[in-house]
Structure 1
């Protein structure tokens, strides 16, 4: 049975997505370690299928300001990936790369934003490369774009684009450990259902009742 709702994902399919999340996040941690020249470890990520209101609450509420790096997927997978960088992660990254930290998002200048976009792009690309390799997919990613906005405003982008199909979103939530400091990281992924079914088929867990 082809799925037409995230609620239809069964335990086997969710386990497959979690396994990809674990492998992809591990590769992303290795890539991040190379960028910031520090040893980085990541906890086993939690993969959740959330409605938009629950996702907003996890992000601190609709008015909480967050920074996101967004790319569009095309090819075997079509949809949106959004990598959310919270303040603790931003300061670890900026301190390592530019030797500076910030207290608020409005202190981000052109150079620091460029550095964060590049780090976000590396993290997303590394995760997607792991997924593409495991499932044998050909996926192209758009040029990344950074947005700093209220969480409600950022999540409205996938909501507007895919809200006619679903009110759910896939969130990979993990914690990085660097120099004894725990920093959070969240990756939101929303493929359209045709893409999601194709990915599950390629992983060998499609059409499972």
Structure 2
């Protein structure tokens, strides 16, 4: 397989199942961090073009926070947690006891809390994926930034756009204390890693 466009129905279904399992594990980890039961609705896992993914998370000019982690080893690529304001304030309210009106109000302590939550969600998601496929990968220290969503998505586009114009998107609503907030994770393994992963899961010959 040379690109995401080559994925067949079985391979896409397998990726969707992986995304659902990973998101469920991320919700469990979030429960411990926020001190409340976190449930998720049915996750939506899709393969999208970069521009479509940007529109899916709200549009290129919308300001958002992002936590970015690089993967290396048997699984190479990038994973990004997109933290929109509803999610930001859920985290800050539960962990720090305050909320913000906009991203400019974020303090160093606020940013640290958001990085910690984003990193735990990504790490838990990737660990679930690796356990499922019996593979290993290393994760870098997370990077945090606040910018327009188009600029944030420019990072995986720059690194992997030469291999494919597509990215894996995982979306779900987290429900905590009767409050429902959207969560968006974007996963971009390189094509070699995607082939290796699908082979390990027994859905790709070779």
Q: Same fold (TM over 0.5)?
A: yes
Deviation at 1:39, TM superposition (A): 0.9
CA distance in 2, matches of 1:60, 1:132: 30
Report the TM-score when normalising by structure 1. 0.96
SS of structure 2 residue aligned to 1:184: strand
1:84 aligned onto 2:57: no
CA distance in 1, matches of 2:128, 2:188: 17
Structure 1 spans left out of the alignment, 5+ residues: none
CA distance in 2, matches of 1:57, 1:129: 28
Deviations 1:96-123 (A, max 9, x none): 0000001101111100000010011110
Structure 2 spans left out of the alignment, 5+ residues: none
* Match of residue 26 from structure 1: 24
Q: Is 2:20–2:45's contact at 8 Å kept on the other side of the alignment?
A: no
Deviation at 1:207, TM superposition (A): 3.0
Report the TM-score when normalising by structure 2. 0.97
* Match of residue 75 from structure 1: 73
Stretches (4+) displaced over 4 A: none
CA distance in 1, matches of 2:15, 2:57: 21
CA distance in 1, matches of 2:19, 2:74: 18
Match among 37, 43, 52 for residue 45 of structure 1: 43
CA distance in 2, matches of 1:59, 1:23: 21
Deviations 1:141-177 (A, max 9, x none): 0000101110110011111111111111110011101
